[in-house]
Chains A and B, each alone.
Chain A
């Protein structure tokens, strides 16, 4: 374990200690950090507005997960059947957005969804609407953007399980008379469930904490936990309350992630059990 020591110490000093400090700060009652008390916890927990922000944030994460799965899973299925050359090309396309900054991807969606953006030019040009659609500063626009921004995180683990599974299973299923849909739901999905869960987990974690996308595309009227943390810490300079919100973000996101991870393990275990 010796070689892990330097990194372990760095984690203690720059990761564990700050998080403990965050918990400590949340138990101060005033923003000068002089009086201890549960006041800020009470202020958060007994206000229905804050609970709405929590559910909105978690729901935003779940919507992003659903949208990325709806588009990413079919792409992964096509990838599995493609020739080695096209597999390389598709993998490159899937990874490319991950290496172009999140801020760049967010900016791209402003250009696309804006009043004079790509979507509105198309809709107005085709005569589908008389007025420009309002897409920026709506949750719909935000979910569309997050779908692209987060999709690579889903695709990478999903493609890695897709690559490993035995193509004979598909032929077997087809020759036994199953339709492609039945094969998808009865054979493919159970087999790729662990990869799907691993990807969903990363998408959820990233979408719920994507402060810049949330604030620039969602705008000021859509409030999620990250913008509440930012506002309380940097604008109101109320550190104890910001710490409370940050801990709620940490705990609620971790709880959902634990559930997704568990679901993936159960699905994975069922397949192995059936195979044995």
Chain B
């Protein structure tokens, strides 16, 4: 027979359960609302959406009328691919060096490399704008890559660092005592072990670059437009319903990519780690 529950237990279950449910609604609700809104048939954004149609998605695919969105999306993908690629190379190398170096300086270097994660991105964005302009550079995608590189590197450092710390040191000793060189050990032992961490870090860096606002806000221009900045413009002015269609597309792509990455790299565990 179940024992009678005390007032404390009942209030705990009710309040904690209630707040957790509210948290779930708050987390998922907006995503569903955006998806529903993107299929509206009306010219205004209201909820519940009026009618069902793909008209905003069709308009979004229109080569001529949605050209500015396509250009911005292309720029965003280019910058994300380049900055995430460079961040993965440099970040993995740095994570390997930091994992070997012990002591105070390694901790200082680690904190330094991770600092863009908590530093106000807006201050850095403005600093980058002044720096590049005063050095005489004109706005370009290359400058955006340099700025994004700094803010996405911490994602690679964190996931690769975590997988390096889980590597069994006995494996390295075993490889060395069997006569393998350090390079060979790296290629055949370390690299396969940390590959999922590198992939997860590269993916997170890519997504962070696609989502980047504070740096793009200052470094992008009319010629080097970026998707989040363009969407901000569309929301500020007339609240173009295409924003909903762009959002729906981004949610869908993120969802699929995340399922794939979860399957191959156990992404969510690594983000938690």
In the complex, A62 has a CB within 8 A of chain B: no
B24 touches A75 (CB 8 A): yes
Q: How many A-B residue pairs have CB under 8 A?
A: 272
A97 contacts partner chain B, Cβ-Cβ < 8 Å: yes
Q: State which of A21, A111, A147, A225 has its C-beta within 8 Å of the C-beta of B134.
A: A21
Q: Taking the complex as formed, is A181 at the interface, i.e. its CB lies under 8 A from any CB of chain B? A: yes
Cβ A180 vs Cβ B126 within 8 A: no
Answer yes or no: A116 CB below 8 A from chain B CBs: yes
Please tell me which stretch of A2-10, A35-43, A45-53, A267-275 contacts chain B, meaning at least 4 of its Cβ atoms lie within 8 angstroms of it.
Answer: A2-10
In chain B, residues 1-60, which have Cβ atoms closer than 8 Å to a Cβ of chain A? 6, 8-9, 11-13, 15-20, 22-24, 26-31, 33-34, 37, 44-48
Q: Is A202 an interface residue (CB 8 A)?
A: yes
By secondary structure, the A interface counts as: helix
Whether A4 contacts B98 in the complex (CB less than 8 A), given A18-B128, A107-B244, comes out as yes
Are B118 and A201 closer than 8 Å at their CB atoms?
Answer: yes
A138 adjacent to chain B (CB < 8 Å): no
A190 on the interface (CB 8 Å rule)? no
Cβ of A230 < 8 Å from any Cβ of B? yes
Q: Using CB atoms, name the residue of chain A closest to B210.
A: A101
Cβ contacts under 8 Å, B20 to chain A: 71, 74-75, 77-78
Q: B116 touching A15 by the CB < 8 A rule?
A: yes
- Determine if B47 and A116 form an interchain contact, defined as CB atoms under 8 angstroms apart: yes
Give the distance in Å from the alpha carbon of A226 to the alpha carbon of B218 in the complex: 12
List, in ascending order, chain A residues with CB within 8 A of B117's CB. 202, 205
Separation of A225 and B122 alpha carbons in the complex (Å): 10
Size range of the chain B interface in the assembly: 35 or more
Q: Which of B88-118 contact A (CB under 8 A)?
A: 89-91, 93-94, 96-98, 101, 109, 112-113, 116-118
Q: What is the 8 Å Cβ interface bit string for chain A, positions 86-104, against chain B (1 contact, 0 not)?
A: 0010111111111111111
**Quick check: is A60 within 8 A (CB to CB) of the other chain?**
no
Q: Mark A1-28, 1 if CB is under 8 A from B, else 0.
A: 1111011101101110111011001000
Distance between Cα atoms of A117 and B29 in the complex (Å): 13
Which of B63-71, B145-153, B166-174 sits within the interface? B145-153
B180 neighbours in A (Cβ, 8 Å) = none
Q: Which of B231-266 contact A (CB under 8 A)?
A: 231-232, 235-236, 239, 243-244, 246-247, 250-251, 254-255, 257-258, 262
**With A93-B24, A112-B29: A18-B262 Cβ-Cβ less than 8 Å:** no
A193 within 8 A of B: no
| Chain B residues, CB < 8 A from A147 | 26
* Min CB–CB distance B190 → chain A (angstroms): 12
> How far does the Cβ of A244 sit from chain B's closest Cβ, in whole Å?
11
CB within 8 Å for A7 and B232 given contacts A104-B34, A239-B130: no
> Do B46 and A148 have beta carbons less than 8 Å apart?
no
Are B272 and A209 in contact, with the CB atoms below 8 A? no
With A92-B268, A147-B26, A230-B122: A103-B232 Cβ-Cβ less than 8 Å: yes
A11 CA to B12 CA in the complex, in Å? Answer: 49
Distance, CA A107 to CA B35, complexed state (A): 11
Give the docked Cα–Cα distance between A93 and B29 (Å). 11
Q: Is the CB of A71 within 8 A of B126?
A: no
Q: In the complex, what distance in Å separates the CA atom of A107 from the CA atom of B242?
A: 11
> Could you say which residues of chain A place their CB within 8 Å of the CB of B251?
100, 104
The interface centre, meaning the residue of B16, B122, B134 with most chain A CB atoms within 10 A of its CB, is: B122
Within 8 A of B (CB), among A213-256: 215-216, 225-226, 229-230, 233-234, 239, 242-243, 246-247, 249-250, 253-254
Q: How far is the CA of A64 from the CA of B16 in the complex (A)?
A: 19
The answer to whether the Cβ of B139 comes within 8 Å of any Cβ in the partner chain is: no
A42 to B119, CA, bound (A): 24
Does B47 lie within 8 Å of A118, measured CB to CB?
yes
Question: A229 contacts B126, CB within 8 Å?
Answer: yes
A33 to B129, CA, bound (A): 15
**A196: Cβ under 8 A from any B Cβ:** no
A211 contacts B213, CB within 8 Å?
yes
B228 touches A103 (CB 8 A): yes
* Residue contact A21 to B130, C-beta cutoff 8 Å: yes
Name A's B-contacting residues (CB within 8 A): 1-4, 6-8, 10-11, 13-15, 17-19, 21-22, 25, 33, 70-75, 77-78, 88, 90-112, 114, 116-118, 121, 147-148, 151-152, 156-157, 159-160, 163, 179-182, 184, 201-202, 205, 208-209, 211-212, 215-216, 225-226, 229-230, 233-234, 239, 242-243, 246-247, 249-250, 253-254, 257
Given contacts A181-B12, A205-B117, could you give 17 more A-B pairs where the C-beta distance is less than 8 Å?
A3-B97, A7-B90, A7-B153, A11-B150, A22-B123, A70-B19, A73-B19, A74-B20, A91-B269, A99-B258, A104-B247, A107-B244, A109-B30, A160-B273, A181-B8, A216-B235, A250-B123
